[in-house]
Structures are given as structure tokens and as C-alpha cells.
Amino acid sequence: MLRKLTSPVKIQRFLDCEIGYNVEPDGHTCRSPRMVLRDGVAHCMEGALTAAAALRRLGYPPLIIDLEAVRDSDHVLAVYRTNGHWGALAKSDYAGLRFREPVYRSIRELVMSYFEHYYNPAGEKTLRGYSRPVNLKRFDRMGWMTAERDVWEIPNHLCGIPHAKILTAPMERGLAKMDERLFKAGRLGGVAH
């Protein structure tokens, strides 16, 4: 199934068009890429793992980063570098939290491109920090790509590593609510909450 995914853009299209959004309540599943392909559904963590496995087949290291939020769920991206610039692949039911072209000079710059699109149902902008890239090669011994079980070791690891903060306290206090048009545009095609 992954053989036909010959570029990051094709991997993202596959996540968007061939894999449904996993609507199980948060914390109930953490499928391996094999299970995602078998079941045909993924939430952001499962999508990032699947994208990282597909990127690995193309010769990229299997890297993910965790975006940390307040009053909202964290979001996980599969990241890759092309010509020294970072891009990202992701599964989300928020339109603005998916693909990024590899045009960002740093991980922080890439993460900040998600800021305006990262909000909760109350319209609060919720992105607050990010992890360093984690190379999933460290989980090869447990067979994270082909396991026939949930791979909770990976999100547990993400929860335990340091995250860089992106806002100061005064910046956080001064944040405006989401623009109504951007809010609605970001939910286009999303599942109801």
C-alpha cells in the first residue's frame, strides 16, 4: 500500500483521501501504521506514525514532533527536510493542521505556521509549545511500524520530553479569539465535536 506513495505530497493526499478520521475518544487507540492501513482510520498520532513510516520508505528519517496545547489536544506531525528546509505531514479534522511545504528554515518556524490554525471549539488559540524532532528509529526494536497492537510507548515518550514554549505570559494574555471566518474555514470537512 505504501509503495505507491512516492513523495510527501502523495503521502499527505493518501492520509486525507484514503484514511478516514478516527473518531474514537482520545486515548482509546494508538494504532501502528500496519493497523492504520488495515483499519483505514487514524487520528493525528496514528496519522503521524503512518506518514513517518511512508517517509522512511522514501529515505527520510522517521521523525515526529509533538505540538503542545492548552485546553485542547496536542497534535503530532511527521516532519522531513528537503534542501535544508522543513516540511510536515499530518492527519487532522482541522483543515489548517495538515500539510506544510518544505520551506521553513527551522522547526520553530514550521511550528509557528500552525499557530493561527490551532484552536479549540471555544475559538481560543491553544498552541503553546513543541518538542524537538523524535527519530522513531529508537522504537524499531518494538516493531512500531508493523505491530499488531497499540504502540503507546511512542505518545508516552512524547509526553515525557521537554517542549519549547512559544509564548510569554503577556503574549498569552493578549491573544484575540479566532476570526469567525477562519474558524469556519478550518472546520470545513471536519467531524462534528
Structural domain includes residue 191? no
Tell me whether residue 165 is in a domain: yes
d(CA 131, CA 159): 9
Burial class for 86, CB neighbours closer than 10 Å (0-12, 13-18, 19+)? buried
pLDDT < 70 regions, the chain: 25-27, 191-193
User: Based on the structure, what is the number of domains in the chain?
Assistant: 1
Query: Quick one: pLDDT at residue 25?
Result: 66
Cα–chain center distance at 42: 11
In this prediction the pTM is 0.95
Helix, strand, coil share of the chain (percent; to 5):
40, 20, 40
Q: In this structure, is residue 193 part of a structural domain?
A: no
The rounded Cα 107 to chain-centroid distance in angstroms is 13
pLDDT for residue 68: 98
Give the pLDDT confidence score for residue 193 in this predicted structure.
47
**Does the residue 192 lie in any domain?**
no
Q: What is the pLDDT of residue 26?
A: 58
Q: How many residues does the chain have?
A: 193
> Is 176 a member of any domain?
yes
pLDDT tens digits along 96-139: 999 999 999 999 999 999 999 999 999 999 999 999 999 999 99
16 assigned to some structural domain: yes
Q: What is the pLDDT of residue 53?
A: 98
Is residue 30 within 8 A of residue 116, CB to CB? The reply is: no
Residue 143 belongs to domain spanning? 2-186
Q: For position 86, what pLDDT does the model report?
A: 98
| Per-residue model confidence (pLDDT) at position 114 | 98
Using CB atoms within 10 A of its CB, is residue 131 exposed (0-12), middle (13-18) or buried (19+)?
buried
Let me know if residue 163 belongs to a domain.
Answer: yes
